[in-house]
Structure 1
Amino acid sequence: MSSSKNGEGVHVLLIPYPAQGHILAILDFTHQLALRGITITVLITPKNLPILDPLLSTHPSIQTLLLPFPAGHALLPAGVEHVKDVGNWGNAPIISSLSRLRAPVVEWFGSHPNPPTAIIHDFFSGWAQDVAREIGVPGICFNSTSALLVCVLDCAWKRIKGLKGMEVVGFPEIPDSPRFERDHLPSIMKNYKESDPDWEAVRRVMVGNTGSWGFVVNTFGGLEGKYLEWLEKKKKEEEENGNPRPRVFSVGPLSLIGVPYGGGGDHRSLFSWLDGCPDESVLYVAFGSQKLMKKPQLEALSIGLENSGVRFVLVVKEPTVEQVEQGYGSIPVGFEDRVTGRGLVIRGWAPQVEILSHRAVGGFLSHCGWNSTLEAIAAGVLILGWPMEADQYVNVRLLVDELEVSVRVSEGADTVPDITELARIISESMNGHIAEKVRAKELRDKACDAVKVGGSSIKALDELVEQLSQLNSPSK
């Protein structure tokens, strides 16, 4: 993997977005920029500063721009600075609040002795495009998502007001003309409310992304080549001077080349148990850092796993007393005793990358968030998809309907699956010799090739750094 210091002398301001699914990928990306000698300042608010600890301990040279989270939003409880503290509904007020950092960031640029020559920002932090235009530096949009989702967002936000009331939304301008039920669109689109101040701020942010200097996407050509080509063609058409150099940089899977993270507890007994299981016999079941299941859902999932006869590791979040009163569930009483020796339950955080990489794990029952999807692809395990919200339906379309590397088991944030059908799909997927398993391993090989020395993602990282290093050259 390349780590030449060809970025020395370049200073970049990096602006993440405070949500777990967003921030992990952009920190892995920042790690790669630091390895290439780029000077980096990360904009962060005080309560989110600990998230940077692994990155800062690996790269002490990285600086932080610590700005207070803009307070006073009527919908956000005092002290909230991260989406995990309020749930998915909090994206609109958090995006709207963070947009108010524009003025202090501009002021910081004006007072800095060596100000950044570019801004790289999360796609939920598109207000940074306004800063970039005011300062006169390139604004580069980082996407912790699939390239297909970047295409959908790029098209949809330009006609967002016309999507209201449509039962099915089509995108004929995108390769293969994808179509989605309105309820399956990303939450950040389908929840848009015209004239609402928060949602108008979201719209400005998302439309602003479409005019960025370039896109960085956490994907790779072997996975999404046609969508990356469409984005690249679109960026070239927008260039007034017809710049022939690429402005779409596919740099994934970043989890394969990311910053080292410390563990979150002692999981020796888990891996000891996995060591005793046959190859590819275990199903890993997890639904991301934020998802809590309602009691009927968790009961159906538990019984489906039990009846499938498959070995499994189930990761669950324990609800608070208040959440139990709201209908969220815990593991059914007696379940763990009945599956002793065949199934393990982990409450809280689990070392997902390490679990997926274990030789005993052959499947992943997942909500199909993009980080989880890439981690499964990198491990070569079969994904059993249960999309619920956000980008997950878009990802499942790519995985199941287009690439045929995954199996759909259910869908919907509140769906209670049929227990018999769920058990059947799990059993047949894990025990059968299905074509999706073969394709999943072939896709793993392509992912690993992309991040090898000379691989497409490493070349894209180096190309981005080279272009950044030339921003201040006389020819530019």
Structure 2
Amino acid sequence: MATADDPTGNLHVAILPFMAHGHMIPIIDIAKLFASRRGVKTTIITTRLNAPLVSKQIPTTAEIHIELIRFPAAEAGVPEESETADFFSSTAQKMGPNFLFKFFHAAALLRRPLDAALAKIRPDCLVSDAFFPWSAESAGKLGIPRLVFHGTGYFALCTAVCIRVHKPHKNSDSESFVVPCLPGKIELTPSQLPESARKEEEGNPFTELVREMAESEGKSYGVIVNSFRELEPNYADFYRDELGRRNWAIGPVSLSNRRSEEKAGRGGRGTGESSSDCLKWLESKEPDSVIYICFGSLADFADSQLKEIAAALESWGGSFIWVVRKDPRTESESESEEEWLPVGFEDRTAEKGLIIRGWAPQILILEHEAVGGFVTHCGWNSTLEGITVGKAMVTWPVAAEQFYNEKLVTAVLGIGLPVEAEKWVRGTGDDEVIMAEGIEIAVRRLMDGDEGKEMRRKAKELREMARMAIEEGGSSHSSLSDLIDELKQRSHV
């Protein structure tokens, strides 16, 4: 790795990730993409407890330095360990909005440490997560451009702006509406929108954060998008031409991980042994016969919902890999698996099913030929990972911009079927439960019929487009080259 004061390299890019896995993982890939280009070095600015996650995913040959800054936990009134992506992913949501308000306050207090780090390392530009809107001013103090990273694609970005500006949901609490101005007839309901969009309460910290993010984007140099033009061309054009956002599509950034060990370790929590066991199990299955079920790092379904998923899989009767992120730190010592699984479920499905508790090597699983479908929460990382390996999807959004991503998958791309989730899941135990019958119908349609075959065909076409986009001469490869050239010219290198 390079050191912060190493004078080599014609362009020095600083990267500031947000402390959650869904944000950190792709922005680390972005750092690797920058560092892979001739004459570019990269510094990732992060906190002490997040440094191991970052360093684990950086090849030893990459010219990437890690600059540490102190996380102001005491000043914000949050636990010291809350700075880690693991804590935020597995525990923070259960601690309620008061903790989240304090956590985002702590994130805002990173401003002074960031200013000091930037003054020390003197980069030519700053790529920072959208959740750090104040970083535009930090970059401005040094006279360097700030590039925004949102962690989602063009469709969701455009939808969010159209809803924020036109507020079509204000007319009804239950009826669906067509998103104004957005290309295509995209329908949503108010219950599928983020709370910051639905309520817009005066003084609500999240509402204020969304406003600051929108304002800071206008003050920034542009936006880096983890997507590729061929996937959502109408929305890429709309984002640039109608919304006036300068942007560069450089994805799918997950494809920067080309070696098996990089794919297996993406996320920083896997082991070679667990990956090997899972892949060995898949080798015993026929092509396109297994459905993979995973809801990301934040979704926390109630036991009643998990039982419905189990009942649907057993009734369907096909092969499955089901990732269940039950956090042992939040379970009672007396809790047994039968409290969230039908009694005897694992014995009855032993030949056809594999349950993974905790982390799973998702990319390696998805790219295996035995996997024919993906039940997903429609987080953007997972959605893109499914697309890059040509998998059709059963869509089950639970929060954030995931309902927007679902519409892209089902209504625009035609590679997914919904389970008809209608509102956010908060993991409180009183959420609306989607019954086994509906889950089974969606899985069966995807895995067993002609409808699913056609979706898999379309998904495989998108897979080839994604792979071409990142190769030399492809749209994303060229977009990153253009951005680097522009930044070099701007810095007078």
TM-score (norm 1): 0.87
Q: Distance in 1 between matches of 2:335 and 2:233?
A: 44
Q: Distance in 2 between matches of 1:386 and 1:214?
A: 31
| Matched residue SS, 1:42 | strand
The residue correspondences of 1:436-475 to structure 2 (distance < 5 A) are 436-473=455-492
Residue 252 of structure 1 deviates from its aligned partner by 1.2
Q: Distance in 2 between matches of 1:280 and 1:430?
A: 8
Q: Which residue in the other structure is 1:404 paired with?
A: 414
Residue 257 of structure 1 deviates from its aligned partner by 1.7
Q: Which residue in the other structure is 2:112 paired with?
A: 103
Residue 43 of structure 1 deviates from its aligned partner by 1.5
Q: Distance in 1 between matches of 2:62 and 2:459?
A: 38
The residue correspondences of 1:231-250 to structure 2 (distance < 5 A) are 231-234=239-242, 247-250=246-249
Q: Distance in 1 between matches of 2:405 and 2:75?
A: 32
Residue 392 of structure 1 deviates from its aligned partner by 0.8
Counterpart pick for 1:150 among 135, 145, 157: 157
Residue 75 of structure 1 deviates from its aligned partner by 6.5
Amino acid at match of 2:312: G
The residue correspondences of 1:280-429 to structure 2 (distance < 5 A) are 280-320=288-328, 322-323=330-331, 330-411=340-421, 412=423, 413=425, 414-429=431-446
Mean Cα displacement is larger for which, 330-339 or 273-282?
A: 330-339
The residue correspondences of 1:126-275 to structure 2 (distance < 5 A) are 126-157=133-164, 167=173, 171-176=179-184, 178-187=186-195, 189-190=197-198, 192-197=200-205, 199-234=207-242, 247-258=246-257, 260=262, 262-263=264-265, 264-265=270-271, 266-267=273-274, 268-275=276-283
Mean Cα displacement is larger for which, 82-91 or 263-272?
A: 82-91
Mean Cα displacement is larger for which, 294-303 or 126-135?
A: 126-135
Q: Quick check: 1:124–1:206 contact (8 Å CA) kept in 2? A: no
Q: Which residue in the other structure is 1:71 paired with?
A: 73
Q: Quick check: 2:263–2:363 contact (8 Å CA) kept in 1? A: no
Q: Quick check: 1:288–1:367 contact (8 Å CA) kept in 2? A: yes
Amino acid at match of 1:424: I
| Matched residue SS, 1:288 | coil
Amino acid at match of 1:147: Y
Residue 78 of structure 1 deviates from its aligned partner by 4.3
Whether 2:123 is the aligned partner of 1:116: answer yes
Q: Which residue in the other structure is 1:50 paired with?
A: 52
Q: Which residue in the other structure is 1:3 paired with?
A: none
Percent identity between the aligned chains? Answer: 31
Amino acid at match of 2:297: S
| Matched residue SS, 2:184 | coil
Residue 469 of structure 1 deviates from its aligned partner by 0.9
Residue 153 of structure 1 deviates from its aligned partner by 3.4
Distance 1:327 1:226, change over 3 A: farther
More RCO (CA 8 Å, sep 6+):
1
* Aligned-residue CA RMSD (Å): 2.8
Structure 2 gap segments, 5+ residues each: 1-7, 426-430
Distance 1:100 1:379, change over 3 A: same
Distance 1:21 1:326, change over 3 A: farther
Structure 1 gap segments, 5+ residues each: 1-6, 239-246
Number of equivalenced pairs: 456
Per-residue CA deviations over 1:7-55 (Å, capped at 9, x if unaligned) read 9311122111111111111111110100113222212111111111234
Q: Distance in 1 between matches of 2:448 and 2:62?
A: 48
Amino acid at match of 2:212: R
Q: Which residue in the other structure is 1:24 paired with?
A: 25
Per-residue CA deviations over 1:340-398 (Å, capped at 9, x if unaligned) read 21111111111110011111100001111111111111111110011111111000011
Residue 291 of structure 1 deviates from its aligned partner by 1.9
Residue 140 of structure 1 deviates from its aligned partner by 0.7
Residue 416 of structure 1 deviates from its aligned partner by 2.0
Distance 1:462 1:311, change over 3 A: same
| Matched residue SS, 2:180 | coil
Q: Quick check: 2:264–2:361 contact (8 Å CA) kept in 1? A: no
Q: Which residue in the other structure is 2:4 paired with?
A: none
Distance 1:326 1:80, change over 3 A: farther
Amino acid at match of 2:21: Q
Residue 436 of structure 1 deviates from its aligned partner by 1.9
Q: Quick check: 1:253–1:378 contact (8 Å CA) kept in 2? A: yes
Q: Distance in 1 between matches of 2:336 and 2:153?
A: 33
Mean Cα displacement is larger for which, 130-139 or 319-328?
A: 319-328
Per-residue CA deviations over 1:424-460 (Å, capped at 9, x if unaligned) read 3312320112132221122212112212221111111
Q: Which residue in the other structure is 2:448 paired with?
A: 431
Mean Cα displacement is larger for which, 324-333 or 353-362?
A: 324-333
Q: Quick check: 1:17–1:122 contact (8 Å CA) kept in 2? A: yes
Q: Distance in 2 between matches of 1:251 and 1:269?
A: 33
Q: Quick check: 1:13–1:120 contact (8 Å CA) kept in 2? A: yes
Amino acid at match of 2:156: L
Q: Which residue in the other structure is 1:244 paired with?
A: none
Distance 1:14 1:319, change over 3 A: closer
Q: Distance in 2 between matches of 1:75 and 1:86?
A: 14
Q: Distance in 1 between matches of 2:322 and 2:214?
A: 36
Q: Distance in 2 between matches of 1:153 and 1:120?
A: 21
